[in-house]
Amino acid sequence: NIRIEKVVVAQLDNSQLFTVPDGWKEPAFTKEDNPKGLLEESSFATLFPKYREAYLKECWPLVQKALGDSHIKATLDLIEGSITVCTTKKTFDPYAVVRARDFIKLLARSVPFEQAVRILEDDMACDITKIGTLVRTRERFVKRRQRLIGPKGSTLKALELLTNCYIMVQGNTVSALGPFNGLKEVRKVVLDTMKNIHPIYNIKTLMIKRELSKDPELRLQSWEKFLPNFRHKNLTKRKEPKKKTTKKEYTPFPPQQPESQIDKELATGEFFLRESVKKRKKMEEIKVKQAEALTKRQEERNRAFIPPKEKPVMKKTNKAPSEAKIDIEAIKAKVRKAKTKKLGAPSVNPVPQTTPAYDKKKKNKG
């Protein structure tokens, strides 16, 4: 039978293997599938924070009712701060206790009861991503977590619409509830955001994928040519140090020992000279150094008495004005005008003589 099945699968077309028929749904697991029930009891427990205690007490009757349909027993311990779920003799679905475990985990991570109860359905799954240890500094972690939520939760809402998942960001974890394909995309976006990749890039890619999936011809083709390729640009270049130290090549031998004063004297031959000769030579060296220092000091003193070089004075020469061209016609016109006038004759319109104001006052006084 197994061989016949393998042959039948090999003959099937690839398109039939990859695609699920529209409207197909997995049949529900009933008591008829497992009439004898479970052999042993299974249980799971999880802790919840102190601030979640009031909400759990309020909605605990609803939790018990939801788990009672699958014959799962749930206990709330307020002293230890824990929730426990376990199977009973009436439990027939072996996977029901695993769903109950995920249910109490979501309740402990601040997911509301209305959303968390959906995990008990067959086509639902959940994923809790720990993001607290992905970033070193606390300030950077808070900024990136806020980037995932977006202004007024807009980024998170867009991600929920594209993946058909409910997402809850609380503390150091991100809880997601929805179909398997959507959870995979949510985890990728969350991890990329913590790696300093903005979620808008992944949202844009998801939008393109959503449009491409609607076309039945493109389902079996590669979508790489349609998807955007975002490259990480590092704009801030690392500053290079001013003094670059170059590492020396490693040698197993130790460095050569520096020469002592006696070795230097032996090399020059001074070691074998008499003490009086050594002293005389030392004094000569000191006198030479003193003479050099004296000449230098004298040169520095004499610099103050050296006059600075004066700039040569340049005599300003006024250029002779360029000879204007003589207008002969204008001179002739002046001469003609002068001939027409009689020298010494009174003017045609004589100007009346006006006496100043102060002279009139004098006359009046007189």
Q: Which of 106, 122, 138 marks a domain boundary?
A: 122
| Domain assignment present for 308 | no
Q: Residue 130 pairs with which residues in a beta bridge?
A: 173
Q: What value does the mean pLDDT take over residues 200-214? A: 89
Q: What is the DSSP letter of 133?
A: T
Q: Does residue 46 surpass a pLDDT of 50?
A: yes
The Cα–Cα gap between 110 and 116 comes to 10
What pLDDT does residue 138 have?
Answer: 93
State the average pLDDT for the chain: 83
| Average pLDDT over every residue of 39-45 | 91
Which of residues 93, 122, 151 is at a domain's end?
A: 122
Residue 267 lies in a domain: yes
Q: Could you tell me how far CA 202 lies from the centroid of its own chain?
A: 16
Cα–Cα nearest to 156, from 118, 185, 199 = 199
Which residue range forms the structural domain that includes residue 93?
Answer: 31-122
Residue 317 vs residue 225, higher pLDDT: 225
Domain CATH code at residue 55: 3.30.1370.10
39 phi, psi to nearest 5 deg: -80, -40
Contact 190, 178 (CB under 8 A): no
What is the distance between the alpha carbons of residues 343 and 197, in angstroms, rounded to a whole number? 107
Q: How many domains does the chain have?
A: 2
The pLDDT tens digits of the residues spanning 118-174 come to: 999 888 999 999 999 899 999 999 999 999 999 999 999 999 999 999 999 998 999
Note whether residue 71 is domain-resident.
yes
Q: Is the pTM of this model over 0.75?
A: no
Q: Which residue has the higher pLDDT, 208 or 241?
A: 208
199-214 vs 154-163: helix crossing angle, rounded to 10: 30
Radius of gyration of the chain (CA): 53
pLDDT for res 338:
83
Q: Is 35 domain-assigned?
A: yes
Indicate whether 183 belongs to any domain. no
